[in-house]
Structure 1
Amino acid sequence: MSANRFGERFEILTFGESHGPGLGVVIDGCPAGVPWDAALLEREMARRRPGQAFGSGRAEPDRVEVLSGVFEGFTLGTPIALLTRNVDARSSDYEALRDAPRVGHADDVWLVKFGRSDPRGGGRSSGRETVARVMAGAVARMLVRCLEPRIAVLGYTSAIGPLALSDVDRTGAASMDEDRLEAFPARFPSPTRSEAIVELLDRAKTEGMSWGGTAEILVENPPAGLGQPVFHKLKADLASAMLSTGATAAVEIGSGSASARAEGTAFHDPRAGGKPYGGIRGGITTGERLRLSVSFKPTSSVRKFARSGRHDPCIVPRAIPVLCSMTWLVLADHLLWRRQDRV
C-alpha cells in the first residue's frame, strides 16, 4: 500500500488503523525553531475527539505522545513523530463483518484491491484515521503562525439534510472567531435555528438514520501569491486535501458550480470584491478571503444496514476540525514553497 503521504515541502506520512494499537504521523520538512505549542495541539485534538454530542459513542482521550523532532520547546528541523493510542476500540462489534462487508463502506473494495483488509471499524478507511491529520495540522498551524501570523482558518456547518444557513447567517458566521463558531450546536452558526438542528440530529440518532451536509472553510488574511500557476494551483491542492477526507462528495471554491450559470459581466464585476473567485485567480491567492464549501455523503452506518458498531448521524460537525487541519497543511506547504519562487 502506498499513497499515505501528503504535501511537497511540508510532508506528512500517516499510519495506523481504527482498532490497532494507535495512530500516528511523521512530519518531514518542518523548519527548526518553530515554538512548540502543546496547548494548541491538545485543543485541536479535543475539537475532533469522539464521544461528544451528535457523534460516535466511542470515547477516546486522544493524548498525543511526541516521539521525536521537538526539544526544549522548539522544533529541531528533524522529522517530528506523533502518536496517539486507541483505548476504546470494541473490535467484537465487527467480528461478523469478515464475511459480510458493510453497505456503503470501503471494506469490500479494499479487499478487492489489496487481497486483505482489516474489518475492525474500517481499518485505515475509518474516520478514526483523521486523528493523524489533526495532529499534523496543529503543527502546520504552529508553523504558519510564525510565517504569517494574521492568517486564520475557520470552519462551520452550513447545511445538514434539509436545514441550511440563511444568507444572513452565513454573513454573520464570516465575522465570528473560532470560539464563537465552536459554541453553536453541531457547529451550525444560526442563532434562530439551533433548536431545529439539535432536533434533526437527535431524531436521526434515535431512529438510526443519517444525513449528509456541507461545511464551509474560510481562510482569513491570506497573503497574495500562494499557489503555483500550473500543476499545484492552490485550489487544486486544497481540493485534493478536502477530497482525501472520507465521505466527501464535492468541493466548491468561491461561487463554485453556480459559476456555470453566471453571466460574465456580473461574475467579473470588480464591485463584487473578488467574492466569486473565492480568493484565488489563476491558481494563486489574491490576498482576499478564501472560501471553500465541502459536501459530505450521509453516514453509511444507518440502522437498516448496520448490525453493530458506533456511528455519527452526520459526519459534518466532527469533520470540520479535520478540514481545517488539511487547510493548515496546504497553507504551510505553499508558504514554504513561496520561498523558492524568486531570488
Structure 2
Amino acid sequence: MAGNEFGTLFKVVTFGESHGPALGCVIDGCPAGIPWDQALLEKALARRRPGFDPLSSGRREEDRPQVLSGVYQEKTLGTPLSIVIFNQDARPQDYPEDKPLERPGHADDLWKLKFGHADPRGGGRASGRETAARVAAGAVAAMVLRVLSPETFVTACTERIGPLVLDPGEAQAALTGGEEAVDSFPARFPSKSKSRDVEALLKKAKAQGETWGGTALVRIHRPPAGLGQPVFRKLKADLAAAFMSVGGATGVELGAGFSAAKARGSEFHDPAASPSPYGGIRGGISSGEEILFRVAFKPPSTLGEAARAGRHDPCIVPRAAPVLEAMARLVLADQVLLARSDHAG
C-alpha cells in the first residue's frame, strides 16, 4: 500500500491500525534545534482522544505518546523523529472476519476489493483512530512554527451539526479566542444559545443509533506572506488536499467558497470587502491575511445497533477539528521550509 507519506521537506509517515497494538508517526525533515514541548504534544492528543466526552465515541484511549527517536536534551536532532501511541482499549474480537459489520459508505469493502487482503478490525487504517498519528505529527509541526513563524496560529471549530448552524459572529469570536475558547463548548460548537440543542441532538442520535453530518471552520491567523507556489503547489491546493485526506471529508471551501459562483465581479472584487472573499490566498500564494476554510463531513457510517453500542461517534466534526488543525500545521511547516529556497534575498 502506498500513500502513507505526507509532505515534501517536512515529511510524515503514519503507521498502525485501529485495533492493532499501536499506531504512530515518523517525521523526516524536522529541523534540528527546535525546542521540544512534550506538554504541547500530550495536550494535542488529549483534545482528539475518544472516551472522555459523552457526545463522542465510548472507546477510552489515554493516547500517551512515547518519543522513540529524534529528540535529545529537549531539542530535535534533525534525524527521523518517531512517536508511538499504544492502543489500550482495542477490541479486535468485536470484528469477527466471518461476520463483517455492514457499514454503508465506509471503506471496508473497497479496501478488500483493492488490496485483496484487508484488516476487518474496526476499519484498520480507514478508521478515524488513524488520525491520532496525524495529530502527533501536527504537534511537532506546531513546535516548528513557533520558531519559524511565531505569530501563526491555527484554530478550528464546529460550524454545523445537521440542522444546527453557528451564527457568523459566534464563529468569528470563538476562532479568534483560540483552542481554549472553542474547547469550552460542547462538541466544539461555540454557541451559548444553541449548546443545549447540540447536546440534545447528539445524545438522541447516540441513543437511536443515528448519525449526523456537519461542517468545520479552520482559521489560520497571521500566516507568513509568500507561502505556496503559483502552479502545482498552490497553498490552497495543499491545504485542500490535506483536509480532504481526513476520513469522512466530502468538500472544502476557501474564503467565499461556492458563493463566488453567483457573485458579480464588481462586488466580489471590492477592495473594501470584509472579510476578504479570497480567504487569504491569491494566485496560490498567501497574502499574510487570515486564511479561512470550511470543510464538510458526511454522517458516520456506523448505524443502528453497532452505533448504539457506544464506541462510535454520532458526528465526526467535533473530534475532526483538532485533526484539521494538525493537517493545516503540517502544510504550513512544509511550505515555510520550501519558501526558504524561493529567492536568495
- TM-score, normalised relative to structure 2: 0.96
Alignment of 1:114 with 2:120, yes or no, is no
Using the TM superposition, give the Cα deviation of residue 96 of structure 1 relative to its aligned residue in structure 2, in angstroms. 5.4
**Cα deviation, residue 212, structure 1:** 0.2
- 1:42 is matched with 42
Contact 1:274-1:288 at 8 Å conserved across structures: no
Alpha-carbon distance, 1:102 to partner: 2.8
Q: Residue type of the partner of 2:34?
A: V
One-letter amino acid of the counterpart of residue 4, structure 1: N
Aligned identity (percent) is 56
- Specify the alignment match of 1:23 in structure 2: 23
Q: CA deviation at 1:178?
A: 1.7
- When residues 174 and 305 of structure 1 are mapped into structure 2, their CA distance, relative to the original with a 3 A threshold, is closer
The farther-off stretch of 205-214 and 269-278 is 269-278
Distance 2:113 2:127 in 1: 17
Partner of residue 58, structure 1 = 59
Partners of 1:327 and 1:265 lie apart in 2 by 32
Check whether the contact 2:216–2:321 (CA below 8 A) recurs between aligned residues: yes
How many Å separate the matches in 1 of 2:170 and 2:90?
Answer: 38
Report whether the alignment pairs 1:302 with 2:303. yes
Other-structure match for 2:264: 263
Distance in structure 2 (CA, Å) of the matches to 1:85 and 1:234: 34
The question of whether the paired residues in 2 share the 8 Å contact of 1:94 and 1:121 is answered with yes
Q: Which residue does the alignment assign to 1:181?
A: 182
Question: 2:303 aligned with 1:288, yes or no?
Answer: no
Amino acid at match of 1:249: T
Q: Distance in 1 between matches of 2:17 and 2:318?
A: 22
Identify the residue that residue 93 of structure 1 maps to in structure 2.
94
What is the rounded CA distance, in whole Å, between the counterparts of 1:230 and 1:77 in structure 2? Answer: 30
- Per the alignment, residue 132 of structure 2 pairs with 131
Q: Which runs of 5+ in 1 are unaligned?
A: none
The change in CA–CA distance for 1:137 and 1:89 in structure 2 (over 3 A counts) is same
User: Could you tell me which amino acid in structure 2 is paired with residue 125 of structure 1?
Assistant: A
Q: Is the 8 A contact 1:161 1:213 kept in 2?
A: yes
1:327–1:48 CA distance, 2 compared to 1 (3 A) = same
User: Can you list the C-alpha shifts for 1:131-187, whole angstroms capped at 9, x where unaligned?
Assistant: 110010000000001001110101100000000011232232243222111101110
TM-aligned CA distance change 1:307 to 1:209, over 3 Å: closer
- The TM-score, its normalising length taken from structure 1, stands at 0.97
| CA distance in 2 between partners of 1:307 and 1:113 (Å) | 30
Partners of 2:23 and 2:85 within 8 A in 1: yes
SS in structure 1 of the partner of residue 13 of structure 2: strand
Give the aligned length.
343
Distance in structure 2 (CA, Å) of the matches to 1:314 and 1:100: 19
The DSSP-based 3-state class of the residue aligned with 1:43 is helix
Tell me the CA shift for residue 305 of structure 1.
7.3
Partner Cα distance (2:342, 2:331) in 1: 16
Counterpart of 1:252 in structure 2 is 253
Query: Residue 314 of structure 2 aligns with which residue?
Result: 313
How far off is 1:207 after superposition? 1.0
Q: Is the 8 A contact 2:210 2:307 kept in 1?
A: no
Determine the C-alpha separation between the residues in 1 that align with 2:137 and 2:326.
Answer: 7
Q: Are the structure 2 counterparts of residues 73 and 40 from structure 1 closer, same or farther at C-alpha, using a change threshold of 3 Å? A: same
* Contact 2:209–2:307 under 8 Å retained in 1: no
Determine the C-alpha separation between the residues in 1 that align with 2:11 and 2:101.
37
